[in-house]
Amino acid sequence: MTLLGKLTWQAFPLDEPLPLFSGVAVFLILIGIILWIWRNGHIPYLWREWITSVDHKRIGIMYFMLGSVMLLRGFIDAIMLRTQQAMAFDAPGFLPPSHFDQVFSAHGTIMIFFVAMPFMIGLMNLIVPLQLGVRDVAFPTLNSVSFWLTAAGALLVNLSLVVGQFDRTGWLPYPPLSELRYSPGVGVDYYCWAIQISGVGTLMTGINFVTTILKLRAPGMHYTRMPMFCWTALASNLLIVAAFPVLTATLAMLLLDRYVGFHFFTDTAGGNSMLFMNLIWAWGHPEVYILVLPAFGIFSEVVSTFSCKPLFGYRSMIYATMAICIIAFMVWLHHFFTMGAGATVNSIFGIASMIIAIPTGVKIFNWLFTMYGGTVRLCTPMLWAIGFMVSFTIGGMTGVLLAVPPADFQLHNSLFLVAHFHNVIIAGVVFGAFAGYTYWFPKAFGFVLDERLGKWAFWLWLIGLWVAWGPGYIVGLEGMTRRLQSYDVAEWHPWLLVMAGGVGIILLGILAQIAQIIVSVRTRDQRRDLTGDPWDGRNLEWATSSPPPSFNFAALPNVTDLEPYWDIKTRAREIGELARPEPQYEPIPMPRNSPTGFVTAFFATITGFSLIWHIWWLVILGLVGAYATFVGFAWRDHDEVLIPAEEVARLDRANRAARATRLQEQMAERESQRESGR
C-alpha cells in the first residue's frame, strides 16, 4: 500500500464505537445537507453568490458560520470533558485516556483557531470596510483565499475524527512528547498541517486588514476619526502580521524534526525542547490579544451606541490599544515561569505582565464612564457588554495573580489557570463575538434578532460560565492539575459535578441562540430593518442600507468628524430633511468573483492530507495544482465588473426614501411630544 503512504484500513476507528458512530453520523448529515442543496438546485447559487464571492460582507458571514459550526463541535468536546471528570472520581469514566487526550487537545485547538479566530475575523470582515466608508478590503480575492484556507484547516482537524486520530499532546504540541519518538502516530501531523494551512490564511488576513485600514478610508477620515473597532482591528491585525510567522516557523521546526529527523527540539543530538516553549509562546501570548482586542472594539461600539453617547476617552482608548499591541510581545515568558529561567528573567516578565493590565483597566473605566450619565438601553448587545465587563474584570484579576511568579509556581497548570483563561476568553472573546453578532446581525441580513430569546441566551451563558468555571478556581487552589482523566481526591468531586452542571446551563444558552435564529428567520417580515439603522447607531456602517449593496456606498461619504453618521443624522433632524443631497450616480467598478480561494484551499487540503499520510506523489500534485491556480489567476484580464449607474441609483434611492420616511416619523413624534408636554 505504498501508493497511499501510511494510510490503511487501520486508520479508520472500526473497533472504537464512539468515534466511529459520531464520525459516520457527521458524515451522513453532511452528505444529507449536500444532497438536499443539490436536489433543490441551490448549488449554482451557492457557487456564484457565496463560494466564489470576494465581497467582504459575504466572506465575513461565511467566517462567522464556520466559527458557529466549529463552536458546536468544540462544545461537544467540552461536554465530554466535563462529563468525564464528573464521572471519573475513583472510576475510569467513559473516555479511555488515549481518547480523553484527543478530546482536550481538539477542544483547545478548535476553540482558539476555528471558533474564536473566525468569529473575530468574520466580524472585522463584515464591518471594518463599512465603518471606514469604503467599498471593499484592499485585496478582495486574497480575502477569499484566506477564508477558504481557514476552512481547509478546520476540515483537516475534523477529518482526524474519522481518518486516523488527532493530536494527544494538548492544544500546543510540547516536545519532546510531540516528537516522533513519543508520538509516532498522525495526530501531531494533523495538528501541525491544519494549523500551518489556516495560519497562512490568517497571516494574509492580517496583511489585508492592515493595508485596508491604513490605506483605504473615506475622504477626511484621519486616524483620529476612525471608529474604535477599526483601531482595535488595526492593532489586532498588526499582531497577526508580527506573531503568526513565529507560529509558522516554530511548527515548521517541529515538522522538520518529525519528518526528516532534524534536532531542534529532540532530547538527543543537542536539541532543546525549551526553545519550543519559548518560541511558541512568543506567538501564543500575542494571540490572546489578537482575539481580545477586536472584542474590546466591539464593546466600545456597543457601549457607546446603547448609552446614546460618544465613547468616553477616545484618545486614551487609542493609546491603550496601541500600548497593548506592543506590550503583548514582551510578556510571553509568564506562560512558563516554572521552567526555571531564574529570578531576574521571571521578575522582569512578571512585571511586564502586570503592566499590561493597566491599559486594559483604562478601557474598563472608559466604558464605565461612557455609560455614566448616558441613556442606557439594555438591548441584548448591551447585556453582553455589561456581562463582559463584570466577568472579564474578575478573570483579569486572577490573571494578575498568575503574573506573580511565586504564586504562579503554586498555580501553574492547575485548574485555577484553566478557570482563568476560560473566564477571560469566554467573557472577553465569546461574549464579544455574541455582542457583535446581535448588534450587526441586522446589518448583515436586514432584520433584527429576537430580543426575548437573546436575553435568555445571555443569562444562561453568563450563569453557565460562572457555574462551570467558578468552581475551577476552587479545585485549582485545592491542587487539582489540568487534563486529569481520573482522580481519587474526594474534595474535588462535588465541585466537578457543579462544573458539569454549568456546561449544561451553557448548552441551554446555545439552544436558546439556535431557537433565536429559527424564530427570527420565521418572523423576519415583522422585524425588517428598512432604514439600515435599527439601533440609532453612530458610525458609517449604519449610513447604508441593511443588507448593504455590494458596493456599500453609492458615493463615498465625506468624513468631517468622529462619529460621522451621528453628525449626518443630527443635521437631518435640525433641517428636517436628509442632510446629504442625492449624489450624482456613477457606474461603480467592483472586483469580479473568483474561484481562486476555493480552488487553492482544495489543493491545500489535498497537500495537507497527503503530507499527513506520507502520500508523496499527491503532495507534488497538490503543490503543482496550487501554483497553477495562482498563475491562472495572475493571467486573467478582466478582474472587475461595472455596476451600472441605474442600478446604483435604484438601490440608493430606495434606501433614501426609507430614511426620509423614518425621519418624517421622528419629526412628527417629536412634535407630538412637544404638544403633549405643553
Partner 1 sequence: MSAPTSALRTGRDPYHLGHGPSTGAPEYTGHGAGGPAPKRIVVGYGFWIFILSDVVLFSCFFAAYTVLIHARNGGPGPEIFDLRNTAEETACLLLSSFCCGLASLAVGRRSLLWTEVALAVTGLFGLMFIMLEVHEFTGLVARGDGPTHSAFLTAFFTLVGCHGVHVTAGLLWLGTMMAQFPAKGFKESIRHRYLCFSLFWHALDIIWIGIFTVVYLIGRTTP
Partner 2 sequence: MSTNPEEFEFGSHIGEERVAGAPPHGPPSLRAELRGYIIGLVLAAVLTAASFWSLDEHVIYAPGIVMALIVLGLAQVGVHLVFFLHLTTAPDNTNNALALAFGVLIVSLIFFGSIWVMYHMNANMIPTKTLMQMRGG
> Distance (Å, rounded) from C-alpha 356 to C-alpha 49?
43
Residues 6+ apart with CB under 8 A from 256: 262, 264
* Contacted by 639, from partner 1, partner 2, none: CB < 5 to 8 Å by type: partner 1
In the complex with partner 1, the residue whose CB is nearer, 138 or 324, is 138
Using alpha carbons, list the distances in angstroms from residue 677 to 495, 558, 673: 58, 37, 6
Closest separation in Å from C-beta 217 to partner 2: 12
Residue 248 as a binder of partner 2 (CB under 8 A): the answer is: no
In the complex with partner 1, the residue whose CB is nearer, 118 or 557, is 557
> Distance (Å, rounded) from C-alpha 563 to C-alpha 348?
40
- Of 529-558, which residues contact partner 1 (CB under 8 A)? 556, 558
User: Cis ω on the peptide bond leading into residue 176 (within 30° of 0)?
Assistant: yes
Number of chain positions touching partner 1 (CB under 8 A): 55
> Distance (Å, rounded) from C-alpha 316 to C-alpha 334?
27
Q: Is residue 44 packed enough to be buried (19+ CB in 10 Å), middle (13-18) or exposed (0-12)?
A: exposed
Site string for partner 2, 214-233 (x = CB under 8 A): xx------------------
Closest separation in Å from C-beta 510 to partner 1: 36
In the complex with partner 1, the residue whose CB is nearer, 93 or 583, is 583
Site string for partner 2, 293-332 (x = CB under 8 A): ---------------------------------x--xx-x
Residue 238 as a binder of partner 2 (CB under 8 A): the answer is: yes
The DSSP code for 267 is S
> Distance (Å, rounded) from C-alpha 392 to C-alpha 435?
14
Residues 6+ apart with CB under 8 A from 1: 7, 8
Q: Which of 38, 45, 617, 627 is in the footprint of partner 1 by CB under 8 A?
A: 627
Amino acid at site 128: V
* Nearest CA-CA partner of 453 in 410, 521, 515: 515
Q: Which of 634, 676, 677, 678 is in the footprint of partner 1 by CB under 8 A?
A: 634
- Of 192-221, which residues contact partner 1 (CB under 8 A)? 203, 206-208, 210-211, 214-221
Q: Which stretch binds partner 1 (CB under 8 A): 56-64, 268-276, 305-313, 646-654?
A: 268-276
* Nearest CA-CA partner of 264 in 336, 178, 329, 186: 178
* Contacted by 374, from partner 2, partner 1, none: CB < 5 to 8 Å by type: none
Residue 223 as a binder of partner 1 (CB under 8 A): the answer is: yes
> Distance (Å, rounded) from C-alpha 537 to C-alpha 221?
18
C-alpha 184, offset from chain centre: 32
Q: Which of 262, 445, 487, 602 is in the footprint of partner 1 by CB under 8 A?
A: 262
Closest separation in Å from C-beta 285 to partner 1: 15
Site string for partner 1, 95-134 (x = CB under 8 A): ---------------------------------------x
In the complex with partner 2, the residue whose CB is nearer, 242 or 402, is 242
Residue 341 as a binder of partner 2 (CB under 8 A): the answer is: yes
* Contacted by 661, from partner 1, partner 2, none: CB < 5 to 8 Å by type: none
Q: Which of 25, 339, 624, 641 is in the footprint of partner 2 by CB under 8 A?
A: 339
* Contacted by 344, from partner 2, partner 1, none: CB < 5 to 8 Å by type: partner 2
Q: Which of 30, 46, 252, 345 is in the footprint of partner 2 by CB under 8 A?
A: 345
Site string for partner 2, 262-281 (x = CB under 8 A): ----------x-xx--xx--
Q: Are 74 and 103 in contact (CB under 8 A)?
A: no
At 125, list the grid cell.
Answer: 470582515
In the complex with partner 2, the residue whose CB is nearer, 116 or 235, is 235
Q: What angle do CA 141, 147, 149 make, to 5 degrees?
A: 105
Residue 343 as a binder of partner 1 (CB under 8 A): the answer is: no
> Distance (Å, rounded) from C-alpha 106 to C-alpha 23?
14
Site string for partner 2, 134-173 (x = CB under 8 A): ----------------------------------------
Residues 6+ apart with CB under 8 A from 446: 524, 528, 529, 545, 546, 547
Query: Crossing angle for the helix pair 431-445 and 117-132, nearest 10 degrees?
Result: 50
Residue 146 as a binder of partner 1 (CB under 8 A): the answer is: no
* Beta strand extents in 581-665 (DSSP E only): 588-591, 640-643
Secondary structure of the chain: what % helix, strand, coil (to 5)? 70, 0, 25
In the complex with partner 1, the residue whose CB is nearer, 14 or 260, is 260
In the complex with partner 2, the residue whose CB is nearer, 266 or 594, is 266
Q: How many C-beta atoms lie closer than 10 Å to residue 20's C-beta?
A: 15
In the complex with partner 2, the residue whose CB is nearer, 91 or 274, is 274
Q: Are 305 and 536 in contact (CB under 8 A)?
A: yes
Residue 340 as a binder of partner 2 (CB under 8 A): the answer is: yes
How many residues in total does the chain contain? 678
The DSSP code for 587 is -
Residue 621 as a binder of partner 1 (CB under 8 A): the answer is: no
At 198, list the grid cell.
Answer: 489556516
> Distance (Å, rounded) from C-alpha 126 to C-alpha 628?
30
Residue 228 as a binder of partner 1 (CB under 8 A): the answer is: no
Q: Are 437 and 503 in contact (CB under 8 A)?
A: no
Closest separation in Å from C-beta 188 to partner 2: 23
Question: Which long-range contacts (C-beta less than 8 Å, at least 24 apart) are formed by 225-228?
Answer: 225/559, 225/561, 225/562, 225/564, 226/131, 226/132, 227/131, 227/297, 227/301, 227/539, 227/540, 228/297, 228/300, 228/301, 228/304, 228/311, 228/314, 228/317, 228/318, 228/321
In the complex with partner 2, the residue whose CB is nearer, 22 or 211, is 211
Phi, psi dihedrals of residue 405, rounded to the nearest 5°: -50, -45
The DSSP code for 589 is E
Q: How many C-beta atoms lie closer than 10 Å to residue 395's C-beta?
A: 23
In the complex with partner 2, the residue whose CB is nearer, 335 or 420, is 335
In the complex with partner 2, the residue whose CB is nearer, 250 or 539, is 250
Residue 139 as a binder of partner 1 (CB under 8 A): the answer is: yes
- For partner 2, the binding residues (CB under 8 A) are 214-215, 238, 242, 246, 272, 274-275, 278-279, 282, 326, 329-330, 332-333, 339-342, 344-345
**Residues at the interface with partner 1 (CB under 8 A):** 134, 138-139, 203, 206-208, 210-211, 214-225, 241-246, 248-250, 252-253, 256, 260-264, 266, 268-272, 275, 279, 282, 556, 558, 627, 631, 634-635, 637, 639
